Amino acid sequence: MNENEAKEMLYDYAKNRLTPEQAKAVESALASSESLAKELARIRAYYAALDGMEPVRASNDFLDKVHKRIESRTGARGLAGLLFFPLRVKLPLELLGVGVAALVVLLVFVPRMHRASDADRFQYALSETPSAASGTLLPEQQASPAPPSLASTRKAGLPSRADKYPRKMEYATKAKRASQPRQGSFDGVASATAVAEAEAEKPAGAVGAPAVASGKSGRLAFADESRMEKKAGESAKIARETEEPSRVNVDAAEAPSRRISAEYVYAFAQNAPASPAEAGKDASESVRMRAGKKMKAESAPLSAAQEAAPPAAGTAEGPARDEFLKSLAAKFHGTIQIADSASYRMYTIRVQSAFLASLFDELRTHGDLRLSQGNPPLPSSGTATVLLGTVRR
Amino acid sequence: MNRHEAAQPSPQPASDDEDVRLVALAQGGDRIAFDRLVVKYRDRIVSLCVRTLGDFSGGEDAAQETFFKAYTNVHRFTGDAAFSTWLYRIAVNTCTNQGTSWWSRTWRAALHLDKEIKDEEGGARPRELGDTSMLPSKELERKTAAAALKTAIQKLPLIHRQLVILRDMEGKSYEEIRVITGISEGTVKSRLARARAALRKDLQGADE
């Protein structure tokens, strides 16, 4: 056994943990090495110091404390113990968890909610039409009243939004009344007095500008293309289930609206009718618009022909769409107005009323115009503004 | 063959008869049997925890937590090792968790009873030594050495401290320490050698 090996075994030798043979070997190494003997003396002093340390004994009530701990952490109190104890460990972790959850909500859900409410604003804006309660109907519409809207049917027996948000609803109703046109009139200028009144009474939580939609405004079922497609699918499903015409009918009285003064509304759609015949068929169950009158918005699932058809020029995306609309404006000596919000772009075109019929024909041909049954009566003089649609930016 | 293996006493039997009987009763819900186990091992566990953590209240709290965990998990004890080894393992893990927590480190830094204090002549002595004026010189020397050693042990990293306590103070075999700490035997030996070297260096520095 060399000196290093012996040195490693000295601790066990000092505590008599070696076998007799190992002890004998260590002793012979010790006899031949003075440094090993000194090391052994140090180790013995080390053990003596360890032995000299005060023994540590449990306190007299140790068992009681253990009992208390067991009782406090088992059963009903044990659940609290499991959740919160040891406090100094779990409380910071739980606070951290709450903080992270709050952060997630702030970063993920709030922006989504914001986007959703933004989309809703546009939808309401485009739905700006005198409601059934306050609107006036054309003779043919009075003769064949629209079936009750699915939305209102669904809401039967449930508290209305007006019950929940009386201030907002009052504001919306006033704004709507201000926008009521004279029957049969096509001048879409809202009453400035009523607008001012609506503005003044706008509640703090009201979204968007006051509803100053002219009496000529129409109804568009969907605020943007993606929502349009989605809602069309949902509505068709509901229609199939309930065997009644599917309608997506956003009640304009339910929310304050943005300022719109378009006499006609033209909807962008992803899929245009493949043929005029298809368009005519589609028109009966598509978005229907009439200026200043009670409007009904309906949608239907896209036909196979529609789905197969390539997007028409008017439904092209981005720059192509803008180009198409600009050419349209140039052709009819009108002006295209593009209004941007944070998330959406809204297109309107202002043309001489004399060109309206031609404009609609053009839109039917190259776009996806969905007007109400038949052709609405068009004004013969003055200018008209057509809300072409709103798309997500 | 490793030269230490022959030196090691054979690993402790799975458990002595009394422990086996008491554990079986405790597993059946007998609180009195568990109490007897607590009474039997409380001093050893409290000693281990107090010496590992360096203060009595924290150590006793860890020991209580150890017995609480043993009570709630006694049904998991399979008897592969001795009950005392299983209990030591819980205690070591509990102390490791407490000793490495931010709270524990802050508390000990703020109120370290083992910190040396300066006496009137400028010398340093351990805080806990107390009044030594009436002690015989041999006893005084022993107490001073023990206090210095205690201080040196507290300066070791936690795992080194635990190894010194388990091997040199509790007299556990390397096999038992392997089971208790979950560290391989070779690592136990090398870390123990480093810990002892650090202690010797620290004590030599104190002597000088």
| DSSP codes joined into one string, chain B | --HHHHHSPPPPPS--HHHHHHHHHHHTT-HHHHHHHHHHHHHHHHHHHHHHHSSHHHHHHHHHHHHHHHHHHGGG--SSS-HHHHHHHHHHHHHHHHHHSHHHHHHHHHS-TT-EEE-TTS-EEEGGG---TTS-HHHHHHHHHHHHHHHHHHHS-HHHHHHHIIIIIS---HHHHHHHH---HHHHHHHHHHHHHHHHHHHHHHH-
Of A119-123, A138-142, A248-252, the range with the lowest mean pLDDT is A248-252
- The dihedral through the CA atoms of A351, A352, A353, A358 has a sign that is negative
Cβ neighbours of B16 (radius 10 Å): 13
- Would you state the structure tokens that stand for residue A202, as one six-digit string? 């706008």
Q: Which residue of B has its CA nearest to A58?
A: B43
Amino acid in the structure at residue B46: V
pLDDT at A188 over 60: no
Q: Show Cβ contacts of residue B48 under 8 Å, excluding neighbours closer than 6 positions.
A: B63, B88, B91, B92, B95, B165, B166, B170
Omega within 30 of 0 (cis) for the link into A86 = yes
Answer whether A56 touches B (CB < 8 Å): yes
Mean model confidence pLDDT for chain A = 60
Cα gap A244→A233, rounded to integer Å = 15
Cα B91 vs. chain centroid, distance in angstroms? Answer: 9
- Express each pLDDT in A263-276 by its tens digit: 555 544 333 333 33
- Express each pLDDT in A296-308 by its tens digit: 333 333 333 333 3
* Shortest CA gap B183–chain A (Å): 20
CA of A308: how far to CAs of A160, A275, A303, A304, A324, in Å?
A: 41, 12, 9, 6, 22
Instruction: Considering only residues A377 and B54, tell me which one the structure prediction assigns the higher pLDDT.
Output: B54
> Mean pLDDT for each consecutive 10-residue tract of chain B (208 residues)?
41 66 91 93 94 89 93 90 93 87 63 50 50 64 84 91 93 92 93 92 72
The per-residue pLDDT for A156 is 44
CA of A51: how far to CAs of A6, B124, B127, in Å?
A: 24, 23, 19
- Express each pLDDT in B33-49 by its tens digit: 999 999 999 999 999 99
pLDDT at A343 over 50: yes
A256 confidence band (pLDDT: 50, 70, 90): very low
- Express each pLDDT in A36-91 by its tens digit: 888 899 899 889 888 888 888 999 999 999 998 888 877 656 667 677 767 777 88
Which pTM was predicted? Answer: 0.46
Chain B contact set for A49 (CB, 8 A): 142, 145-146, 148-149
Cα gap B43→B63, rounded to integer Å = 9
Closest among A374, A74, A130, A119 to A252, alpha carbons compared: A130
CA of A270: how far to CAs of A77, A316, A369, B8, in Å?
A: 61, 8, 12, 83
The per-residue pLDDT for B17 is 82
Answer whether A114 touches B (CB < 8 Å): no
The per-residue pLDDT for A254 is 32
The per-residue pLDDT for A277 is 39
The per-residue pLDDT for A166 is 63
pLDDT at A137 over 90: no
Q: Locate tokens 């053990």: which residue?
A: A47
- The dihedral through the CA atoms of A13, A19, A24, A29 has a sign that is negative
Q: Three-state SS across chain A?
A: CCHHHHHHCHHHHHCCCCCHHHHHHHHHHHHHCHHHHHHHHHHHHHHHHHHHCCCCCCCCCHHHHHHHHHHHHCHHHHHHHHHHCCHHHHHHHHHHHHHHHHHHHHHHHHHHHHHHHHHHHHHHHHCCCCCCCCCCCCHHHHHCCCCCCHHHHHHCCCCCHHHHCHHHHHHHHHHHHHCCCCCCCCCCCCCHHHHHHHHHCCCCCCCCCCCCCCCCCCCCCCCCHHHHHHHHHHHHHHHHHHCCCCECCCCHHHCCCCCCCCCEECCCCCCCCCCHHHHHHHHCCCECCCCCCCCCEECCCCCHHHHHCCCCHHHCCHHHHHHHHHHHHHHCCCEEEEEECCCEEEEEEEEEHHHHHHHHHHHHHHCCCCCCCCCCCCCCCCEEEEEEEEEEC
Amino acid in the structure at residue B24: A
Cα gap A297→A286, rounded to integer Å = 7
Mean pLDDT of A177-202: 36
Q: Decide if B146 and A88 are in contact by the 8 Å CB cutoff.
A: no
pLDDT exceeding 70 applies to what percent of chain A? Answer: 42
The per-residue pLDDT for A216 is 34
The β-bridge partners of A335 are A350
The per-residue pLDDT for A287 is 31
A220 confidence band (pLDDT: 50, 70, 90): very low
Answer whether A17 touches B (CB < 8 Å): yes
CB-nearest to B7 from A18, A55, A70 is A18
Answer whether A38 touches B (CB < 8 Å): no
> Could you tell me how many CB contacts below 8 A there are between chain A and chain B?
98
Cβ contact A392:A321 at 8 Å: no
* Shortest CA gap A49–chain B (Å): 5
pLDDT at A119 over 60: no
The β-bridge partners of A336 are A349
Give the domains, in start order, of chain B with CATH numbers: 10-112 (1.10.1740.10)
Amino acid in the structure at residue A103: L
Cβ contact A263:A327 at 8 Å: no
Q: Decide if A56 and B199 are in contact by the 8 Å CB cutoff.
A: no
Q: Locate tokens 């720059």: which residue?
A: A319
Q: Which sequence spans correspond to the domains of chain A?
A: 3-52, 110-392
Q: Decide if A74 and B72 are in contact by the 8 Å CB cutoff.
A: yes
The per-residue pLDDT for A99 is 94
Looking only at the bridges linking them, the beta strands covering A383-392 and A264-265 are parallel
- Would you state the structure tokens that stand for residue A147, as one six-digit string? 């079936």
CB-nearest to A19 from B6, B68, B103 is B6
Using only the alpha carbons of chain A, give its radius of gyration: 40
